[in-house]
Amino acid sequence: MLGRLMNDCRDVAEMLRELRRIVREALEGTSLRGQVARFWSSIGGGKMLRARLLLCLGPAGDVAPGTIYRAAAAVEMLHAASLLHDDILDGGTLRRGHPALWVTDGTKAAVILGDLLVSLAVEAIQDVLPSHLPMLTVTLREMCDAEAEQEFAGLKAGASWGRCVDIARRKTGSLFGFAAACAGGSNPELVAALRRAGYALGTAYQLADDLLDACAAPLSSDKTLGLDAATGKLTASSVRPPAGQTAEGVIESLLRDSESDLVRWPRVQAAWHGYVRDTMAPLLARFAGVARVEAIA
């Protein structure tokens, strides 16, 4: 079944159903097996952009379907864990169209579930891509370090566009980079190129998400908005790019340039281009469009 699904990236809905099955199966193997349904909306929902990227690149990188799906599940569990913790830190009450888990079940439940998801993700990578564990360690450190900088330093440490982009790169680009690298198989040069491309893509996504967060209308997103400004975080909405640049222009440039390192691998580059064109570019355009409309209003 996995091989058939991986033959066509366009069948996204079926691929994501299989991915969710794997994540749910991992949770069912823990002591929380009888309560998975209770908090599933906090884990099994969302756009799954990082996992989608890996699923779409997998066939082009000649990685076994089973490996790709397990790695994609690990990436999604890591992302879900970060959201559970973020909502507590920021006071976000809405996530993926539902009340945040800390609101419905308390902060203890959200922290513990997030920690459990991280451990399951590390275990999955250990099983299918053990050579990537050092990279995963760096990814987790960068994600946490960027969050720590935003939380404890924020605007006080000096607001600049370059620092804003660097935080976005570590906070979000790192996990996109890891997800993409998992599709590189045993080719170290391809793994490195995909990781660089993922960093650029994830940075673009985070900058656009920063602009969206500055919007006030609750219908603009399926999560609580306006938290970055309320908590004093340094984001793309709190500083301006250098003269002659715009945030939208930087985002477009990152999207355009993300695949430039993949020219030596035409199949991989084509798969990357298709993902950016069909999935990421329309989403980021909507984010920026909402922010622009609300700024005018």
User: How confident is the model at residue 123, as a pLDDT?
Assistant: 97
Task: Identify the residue whose tokens are 């030596």.
Answer: 264
Report the interhelical angle of 247-257 vs 281-296 (nearest 10°). 180
User: How confident is the model at residue 171, as a pLDDT?
Assistant: 95
What lies within 8 Å, CB to CB, of 285 at 6+ separation is none
pLDDT level of residue 155 (50, 70, 90 thresholds): low
d(Cα 80, Cα 114) in Å, to the nearest integer? Answer: 7
User: How confident is the model at residue 153, as a pLDDT?
Assistant: 72
Percent of the chain with pLDDT over 70: 86
Asked if 213 contacts 226 with a C-beta cutoff of 8 angstroms, the reply is yes
Tell me: the pLDDT tens digits for 238-290? 788 888 888 889 999 999 889 999 999 999 999 999 999 999 988 888 776 65
pLDDT level of residue 13 (50, 70, 90 thresholds): confident
Percent of the chain with pLDDT over 90: 57
Asked if 294 contacts 226 with a C-beta cutoff of 8 angstroms, the reply is no
What lies within 8 Å, CB to CB, of 139 at 6+ separation is 174, 175, 177, 178
d(Cα 250, Cα 177) in Å, to the nearest integer? Answer: 18
d(Cα 163, Cα 157) in Å, to the nearest integer? Answer: 10
Please say if the pLDDT value at position 291 is more than 60.
no
- Whole-number average pLDDT of the chain: 86
Q: At residue 2, what is the residue type?
A: L
pLDDT level of residue 91 (50, 70, 90 thresholds): confident
Residues 161, 253, 207, CA angle at the centre, nearest 5°?
A: 45
pLDDT level of residue 54 (50, 70, 90 thresholds): very high
In this predicted model, which residue has the larger pLDDT, 262 or 44? 262
Region 164-172: mean pLDDT is 94
Which domains are delineated in the chain?
2-296 (1.10.600.10)
Please say if the pLDDT value at position 221 is more than 80.
no
Region 157-171: mean pLDDT is 88
Strands (E), 28-174: 94-95, 98-99
Which tokens in the block code for residue 54? 């890996």
Please say if the pLDDT value at position 60 is more than 50.
yes
205, HSE (Cβ side, Cα atoms, 13 Å):
24
pTM to 2 decimal places: 0.89
